[in-house]
Structure 1
Amino acid sequence: MTESPSRPVSAEARDDRVTPFAVEALDLRGRLVRLGPTVDAILTHYDYPPQVARLLGEAVALAALLGSILESHGRFQLQTRSDGPVDMLVVDYDAPGKLRGFARFDAARLAEVTDPAPAALLGRGHLALTIEREEDAARYQGVVPLEGESLAEAAHMYFRQSEQIPSFVRLAVGELVTPQGRSWRAGGLLLQYLPVAGARIRELPPGDAPEDAGAETEEDDAWLEGQALAGTIEDHELVDPSLSGERLLFRLFHERGVKVFNERPLVEFCRCSTERIERLLKSFSPEERADMVGDDGRIGVTCEFCATFRSFDPADVA
């Protein structure tokens, strides 16, 4: 087996990409996501307050990191339901790289919040991660509690409880200000310890082991090093439009050698359509449709995700 030839690190900074990578010397696998116009489109469909937009941006970055495990088909959904001012976040990822999302919040309660931290905005509830694979019609869902954690911390809990894979997640959202205007950016890093050599598989790190594992556990040196290297990443590096993803990965892991794989493009895309909504309206009873008719004599429907408004003649959907 021959090693893949090395090449210079690309300095080209490209937005809206997921970059899979591996640090084989430490048995690490991961994905880096950098979002520009895609996340900006999602966050500007509605006039979200800045703290809500940042939280939704983190959810979009996390969904891109987790959903990109689906190669070419299938759907991934991230959804929160909680008792905080932001009581719902929904982000859909349609493979191979279509994203959409929205946030629901209580403006009055939000105005009373003095702490902009994600935990204060979300409150207590749960985070549900759902995968639907088209090839075998399988559906998998993992649910973890939200108890004052950020989305990244909740993702850590998911990997500990559901996947039992030692994982590191970092999310960042920023607003870029230029003479042309303001725009949102987001980024994220997912690093996982997936040893393939028997000598490395001693015991999973504390908190990542099954509940019935022994109380005395010891973290593997490779995973300790991987966490230490990944922990040096700064928020501004994840959203810097002038810093290429390859340069960032090289800065983090060059001492051990990092291998990058084909990038996957990401786009903002909503699967709503006039035909879908017509079918939905026809599924309601005549009495229910009558209650939907507005003062103009028509039924108006606004998509929660992309804010597109459509108007229907009640007779056309009878």
Structure 2
Amino acid sequence: MTETARGLGEFDFAGDDHVVPFHVEGLDVRGRAVQLGPMLDAILERHNYPLPVARLVAETVVLTVLLGTSLKFEGKLIVQTQGDGPVDLVVADFSTPDRVRAYARYSQEALATAEQDGRTEPHELLGKGVLAFTIDQGAHMQRYQGIVELDGATLEEIAGAYFRQSEQIPTKVRLGVAELLDRDENGKPRHRWRAGGMVAQFLPDAPERMRQPDLPGGDGEEGEALELFTEDDLWSEAKVMVETIDTDELTDPTVGTERLLYRLFHERGVRVYQPQAVYDRCSCSREKIRGVLAGLDREDIENSIEDGVIKVTCEFCSTTYRFEASEVRPQ
């Protein structure tokens, strides 16, 4: 947050596909909020996912955007779920300063069975596995990865558990996804996706105020340690405020990010920073794909050649790259 903070209304409203950093001085809370529209639509339309899968991808994109735009260096944040459910992989990555991409892998047969049985909640689609956050600062820097089990009914609960266990910063995450069915300028029916989210963190000047109750250790009576812990009053207030947000407020373009922030925190003096735009932009390229092929051995190359060419399709953006066999055969 290097930009000067301003009061709400001192510059134009951010609108869709712009992350709004904010600071609530009266609560010692900082965070980021966003509403996604056309950018998210472009990602989901490209893949034409079944509705339950599209919702998972949308939530993952929102979470990735909220966290990725906080990076202060040139690099990439990768958010990935991997489990044994019908949707065994969801991955989204944010490349600084503003590029987002995402895709999911799922079993059509297992998904159909889950839908027939009414098992379409996130934890039922993902199954048992992990949620991983990976920060990549480039070829000459070591990657950082944080992992948490897929232990929660929703992605926001799972993400909250990650911050609780790994970051040690009191954090509240809210994510929401909505489908819009309306008509275009020609009166034809159309389907659109919207999503929104917020991450709020308690960052007081005195670090000891950030202390949270210890995780259950297995000794003694259940809940005994929690009874001895008193949460900071300001953070308790902030959490209650964030928990009042419903999905409509997160996704409705007539509400907007700034109006939502005002509704939540105006009595405590919320300030916002310059919005940051995010775009549906893949980082794949012909040269990068060529480099991957150059790392394959001769047998793999020969097995990949069909009718004298190798075709490689990017899983994120669905762009297909075509290489003549002579371009990629080892010399």
Q: Please state how far the C-alpha of 1:34 moved relative to its aligned partner.
A: 1.3
Q: CA deviation at 1:19?
A: 0.6
Instruction: Work out which of the residue numbers 143, 146, 169 in structure 2 matches 1:139.
Output: 143
CA distance in 2, matches of 1:106, 1:135: 33
The residue aligned with 2:211 is: 204
Gaps of 5+ in 2: 185-189, 219-224
Q: Tell me the residue number matched to 1:286.
A: 298
| CA 1:17–1:72: 2 relative to 1, 3 Å | farther
For the 8 Å contact 1:21–1:260, the answer to whether it is kept is: yes
Rounded Cα–Cα distance in structure 1 between residues aligned with 2:35 and 2:73: 20
Q: Counterpart of 1:236?
A: 248
Counterpart residue type for residue 300 of structure 2? E
Preserved contact between residue 164 and residue 210 of structure 1 (Cα < 8 Å): no
Q: Distance in 1 between matches of 2:177 and 2:8?
A: 31
1:83 corresponds to: 84
Superposition pairs of residues 1-318 of structure 1, within 5 angstroms? 6=7, 8=9, 12=13, 14-71=15-72, 73-113=74-114, 114-134=118-138, 137-180=141-184, 181-197=190-206, 201-202=208-209, 204-206=211-213, 216-294=228-306, 296-318=307-329
Contact kept? 2:77, 2:136, Cα under 8 Å: yes
Deviation at 1:134, TM superposition (A): 4.8
Deviations 1:23-82 (A, max 9, x none): 111111110011111111111221200110000000000011111111352110001110
Once residues 12 and 37 of structure 2 are traced to their aligned partners in structure 1, the CA distance between those partners, rounded to angstroms, is 17
Q: Distance in 1 between matches of 2:72 and 2:34?
A: 15
Q: Which moved more, 1:8-17 or 1:58-67?
A: 8-17
CA deviation profile, 1:259-310 (whole Å, cap 9, x unmatched): 101111100111111111112112212211111122x332111100001112
Q: 1:273 to 1:25 in 2, by over 3 A?
A: same
TM-score, reference length from structure 1: 0.91
Cα shift at 1:93: 0.4
Rounded Cα–Cα distance in structure 2 between residues aligned with 1:178 and 1:68: 31
d(CA) in 2 for partners of 1:5, 1:262: 8
Answer with 160-169 or 276-285: which moved more.
276-285
Q: Distance in 2 between matches of 1:61 and 1:226?
A: 21
Contact 1:10 1:244 in 2 (8 A): no
Could you tell me how far apart the structure 1 residues matched to 2:161 and 2:328 are? 45
| Higher deviation after alignment, 56-65 or 283-292 | 283-292
SS at match of 2:47: coil
Q: Specify the code of the residue in structure 2 equivalent to 1:104.
A: R
TM-score between both structures, scaled by the size of structure 2: 0.88
The verdict on how the C-alpha distance between 1:300 and 1:196 changes in structure 2, with shifts beyond 3 A counting, is same
- Letter paired with 1:23: V
Tell me, yes or no, if the aligned pair for 1:18 and 1:266 is still in contact at 8 Å: yes
The percent of aligned pairs where both chains have the same amino acid is 44
**Cα distance in structure 1, aligned partners of 2:72 and 2:139:** 11
Asked if the contact 1:10/1:247 (under 8 Å) is kept, the reply is: no
Q: Which runs of 5+ in 1 are unaligned?
A: none
CA RMSD between the two structures? 2.4
Does structure 2 retain, via aligned residues, the 8 Å contact 1:77–1:92? Answer: yes
Q: Give, as a single letter, the amino acid of the residue that structure 2 aligns with 1:52.
A: V
Whole-Å Cα distance in 1 between the matches of residues 140 and 300 of structure 2? Answer: 36
- Structure 2 Cα separation of the partners of residues 90 and 131 of structure 1: 13
Select the structure that is richer in helix.
2
Report the CA distance shift for 1:148/1:192 in structure 2 as closer, same or farther (over 3 A). closer
Letter in 1 for 2:170: P
Paired AA for residue 182 in structure 1: H
SS in 2 for 1:71: coil
Deviations 1:82-109 (A, max 9, x none): 0000000111101112100100000100
